[in-house]
């Protein structure tokens, strides 16, 4: 029997064990998951302390510990040292952010997909590859880390950010021994998490972050922890506290046109992260998916701490998402593990796509595509700024995504639903939050996904009507 009486005691969760079968902790975890996903337990709810709940249920505290840990590995709960256990802000949010709806009435502005006109050049290069005498080899297996030619192309592509940077003193140099190929950025992120971290490890992120890293972390039972920030910039105090008090093992950051805030990290913050990562022995996964879209790219964090950073540069947003090619700079101590992880996941990057990617970079065609994409994004952002003036958060002119501030009577989720009813797909802040904070009243929109400026304009005007109600 419980030691204390709970008849009138306020507890946020009082589960009924009478109908549960099987091992107590798994049955209790399933019940907790149901209560969270059904909305019975709201995001941000603080759960009872483990000993208190164990006393109420007349169970061993270790059973509650295992229940909370199991749900935490699924991303449903977040725990902060000294603060307790909370329902995650995004526990009931759909983590999949990808086009797939075939409703012709829906204007897609949720998933971020580059406009397709530049794919004509990719198509032409692919046709040339198919006419080569050795074209049949492009449908065989390739090297798990990519061929020497492909890795040389990766070196050239990664060092573009150095060549175009405004800070030539912070040069980022890599070579073919430190480059491996992945099947696009998401694949590289997932491989890095699986290769370099263990189950129950903690990784610090920005308070709102790319949902793809959240789904990947869940696969391995890795916990994401929001690091304190100021004006969308991680702080040194926040990182050190997370390292020393929360025992994070690494950081995941998107320094350029961060998803979903569209913020670009300052040079000072990049240097600070590199210095703190070296001092605290943190591995930084630097997602450079949007870095080369910047008007004047800043040096990556890897410039300042190449042995502490896995830097991922994908062609998805800059050249073509269908190429499924990413170049990953990896420090010596992690290279073998990362190659093994990529081999386990892919065997290899498809040789046809990797060869086309290398040819586009070697011939300068990738540069032309990148320039055309940046020009098109600038034109579209002018439309966004004009129609959503007063609501859209300022960002760089070449950002492929924008954050929209909502009137007080909306939440991100409720606006997402209303926008869908108006025929526009957008994504509410709830999908991006890490931890237990109340999500901001914002939504993320894609600048690039509508197939034309006219359709983009129509979608924005529908959103404007909702915002000005």
What confidence tier does 178 reach under pLDDT thresholds 50, 70, 90? very high
Q: Which residues contact 323 (CB under 8 A, 6 or more apart)?
A: 122, 184, 315, 316, 353, 356, 357
Q: What is the pLDDT of residues 66-76, one digit of tens each?
A: 888 888 877 78
What confidence tier does 24 reach under pLDDT thresholds 50, 70, 90? confident
CA 115 to chain centre: 21
Report the distance separating Cα 150 and Cα 361, nearest Å. 10
Give me the pLDDT at residue 99, please. Answer: 59
SS3 89: coil
Q: Which residue has the tokens 């997932």?
A: 190
What confidence tier does 266 reach under pLDDT thresholds 50, 70, 90? very high
Strands 84-87 and 223-226: unpaired
Report the distance separating Cα 113 and Cα 377, nearest Å. 12
Flag whether pLDDT at 78 surpasses 80: no
> Of 65-69, 112-116, 118-122, 456-460, where does mean pLDDT reach its minimum?
65-69
What confidence tier does 97 reach under pLDDT thresholds 50, 70, 90? low
Flag whether pLDDT at 6 surpasses 80: no
Flag whether pLDDT at 288 surpasses 80: yes
Give me the pLDDT at residue 37, please. Answer: 79
Phi, psi of 190 (to 5 degrees): -60, -45
Q: Which residues contact 104 (CB under 8 A, 6 or more apart)?
A: none
Flag whether pLDDT at 141 surpasses 70: yes
Q: Which of 34, 117, 207 is nearest to 452 (CA)?
A: 117
Give me the pLDDT at residue 91, please. Answer: 65
Handedness of CA 351, 216, 287, 192 (dihedral sign): negative
More confident residue, 135 or 205: 205
Exposed, middle or buried by CB within 10 Å (0-12, 13-18, 19+), for 409?
A: exposed
Give me the pLDDT at residue 233, please. Answer: 96
More confident residue, 161 or 148: 148
Measured from the Cβ of residue 426, the count of other Cβ atoms closer than 10 Å reads 23
C-alpha separations of 37 from 30, 208, 211 in Å: 11, 20, 17
What confidence tier does 169 reach under pLDDT thresholds 50, 70, 90? low
CA 54 to chain centre: 36
| pLDDT (mean) for 444-454 | 96
The CB-side HSE value for 134 (13 A sphere, CA atoms) comes to 6
- Tell me, what DSSP letter sits at residue 106? -
Give me the pLDDT at residue 80, please. Answer: 66
Q: Which of 422, 442, 445 is nearest to 433 (CA)?
A: 442
Give me the pLDDT at residue 2, please. Answer: 52
- Tell me, what DSSP letter sits at residue 433? B
Report the distance separating Cα 128 and Cα 209, nearest Å. 39
Contact yes or no for 89/36 (Cβ under 8 A): no
**Residue 432, both tokens:** 């991006």
Q: What is the pLDDT of residues 325-367, one digit of tens each?
A: 999 999 999 999 999 999 999 998 999 999 999 999 999 999 9
pTM reported for the whole predicted model: 0.85
When computed from its CA atoms, the radius of gyration of the chain, rounded to whole angstroms, is 23
| pLDDT (mean) for 171-195 | 93
Before 60, cis peptide (omega within 30)?
A: no
Q: 286 forms bridges with which residues in the sheet? A: 253, 311
Report the distance separating Cα 358 and Cα 374, nearest Å. 21
Flag whether pLDDT at 101 surpasses 60: no
Flag whether pLDDT at 46 surpasses 90: no
Give me the pLDDT at residue 82, please. Answer: 66
Q: What percent of the chain has pLDDT over 90?
A: 66
Give me the pLDDT at residue 61, please. Answer: 85
More confident residue, 4 or 148: 148
**Residue 158, both tokens:** 């990664």
> Of 55-64, 130-139, 189-198, where does mean pLDDT reach its minimum?
55-64
> Of 142-151, 256-265, 356-365, where does mean pLDDT reach its minimum?
142-151
Give me the pLDDT at residue 1, please. Answer: 44
| pLDDT (mean) for 44-62 | 83
């Amino acid at each position: 029997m419980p030691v204390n009486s709970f008849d009138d005691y306020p507890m946020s969760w009082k589960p009924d064990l009478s109908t549960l079968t099987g091992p107590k902790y798994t049955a209790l975890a399933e019940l907790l998951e149901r209560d969270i996903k059904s909305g019975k337990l709201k995001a941000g709810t603080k759960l009872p302390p483990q000993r208190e709940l164990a006393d109420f249920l007349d169970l061993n505290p270790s059973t509650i510990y295992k229940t909370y840990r199991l749900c935490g590995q699924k991303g449903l709960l977040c725990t902060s040292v000294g603060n307790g256990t909370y329902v995650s802000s995004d526990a009931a949010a759909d983590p999949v952010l990808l086009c797939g709806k075939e409703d012709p009435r829906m204007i897609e502005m949720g998933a971020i997909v580059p406009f397709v006109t530049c794919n004509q050049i990719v198509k032409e290069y692919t046709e040339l590859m198919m006419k080569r005498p050795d074209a049949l080899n492009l449908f065989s297996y390739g090297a798990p880390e990519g061929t020497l030619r492909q890795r040389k192309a990766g070196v050239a592509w990664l060092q573009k950010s150095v060549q175009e940077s405004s800070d030539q003193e912070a040069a980022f140099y890599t070579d073919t021994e430190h480059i491996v190929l992945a099947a696009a950025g998401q694949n590289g992120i997932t491989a890095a998490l699986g290769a370099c971290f263990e189950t129950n490890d903690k990784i610090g992120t920005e308070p709102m972050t790319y949902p793809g890293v959240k789904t990947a972390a869940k696969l391995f039972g890795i916990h994401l922890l929001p690091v304190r920030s100021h004006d969308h910039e991680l702080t040194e105090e926040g990182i050190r506290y997370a390292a020393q008090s929360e025992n994070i093992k690494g950081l995941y950051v998107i320094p350029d046109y961060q998803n979903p805030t569209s913020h670009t990290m300052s040079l000072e913050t990049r240097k600070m992260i590199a210095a703190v990562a070296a001092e605290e022995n943190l591995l930084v996964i630097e997602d450079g998916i949007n870095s080369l879209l910047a008007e004047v790219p800043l040096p990556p964090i890897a410039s300042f701490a190449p042995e502490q950073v896995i830097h991922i540069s994908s062609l998805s947003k800059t050249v073509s998402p269908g190429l499924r090619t990413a170049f990953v700079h990896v420090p010596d101590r992690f290279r073998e593990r990362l190659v093994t992880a990529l081999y386990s996941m892919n065997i290899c990057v498809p040789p046809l796509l990797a060869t086309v990617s290398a040819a586009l970079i070697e011939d300068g065609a990738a540069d032309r595509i990148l320039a055309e994409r940046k020009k098109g994004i600038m034109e579209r952002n002018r439309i966004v700024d004009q129609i959503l003036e007063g609501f859209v958060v300022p960002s760089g002119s070449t950002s492929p995504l924008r954050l929209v501030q909502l009137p007080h009577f909306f939440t991100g989720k409720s606006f997402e639903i209303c926008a869908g009813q108006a025929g526009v797909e957008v994504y509410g802040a709830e999908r991006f939050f890490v931890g237990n904070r109340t999500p901001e009243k914002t939504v993320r929109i894609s600048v690039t996904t509508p197939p034309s400026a006219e359709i983009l304009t129509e979608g924005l005007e529908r959103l404007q009507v909702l915002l000005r109600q």
